Amino acid sequence: MPPGEIADVIRQVHAGKKRVPPEIAAEMAERLGDERLTDREIDVLRQTAGGNRNRDIAGKLSIAEETVKAHMKHIIEKLGASGRTQAVTIAARRGIIQL
């Protein structure tokens, strides 16, 4: 970054504005994704965050255990997570669920 641009960024930040480099903004936009979680997927995610197993979640939500697994698979895909724990972490960070 050229010195003049660095000075401009410092002034902007000092004035209370936020500055995100374009390459980081592109990465953030890519990770946020366009797909929203359904209400049922959020229910499953909340139960997962509470430490419940698929069988327990199924019982609490009156759905089949296989349905819970399908919801979890979709949640992980939509959030770009590598597993259940990361899905909960991402959802909490994004404000989808509260821990």
pLDDT of residue 28: 66
Q: Going from the first residue of the chain to its last (99 residues), give the mean pLDDT of each consecutive group of 10, the final group possibly shorter.
A: 83 84 70 80 97 97 98 96 95 91
The pLDDT of residue 33 is 60
Domains and CATH numbers, the chain: 3-32 (no CATH), 39-93 (1.10.10.10)
What is the SS3 assignment for the chain?
CCHHHHHHHHHHHHCCCCCCCHHHHHHHHHHHCCCCCCHHHHHHHHHHHCCCCHHHHHHHHCCCHHHHHHHHHHHHHHHCCCCHHHHHHHHHHCCCCCC
pTM of the model: 0.67
Question: So what's the pLDDT on residue 1?
Answer: 73
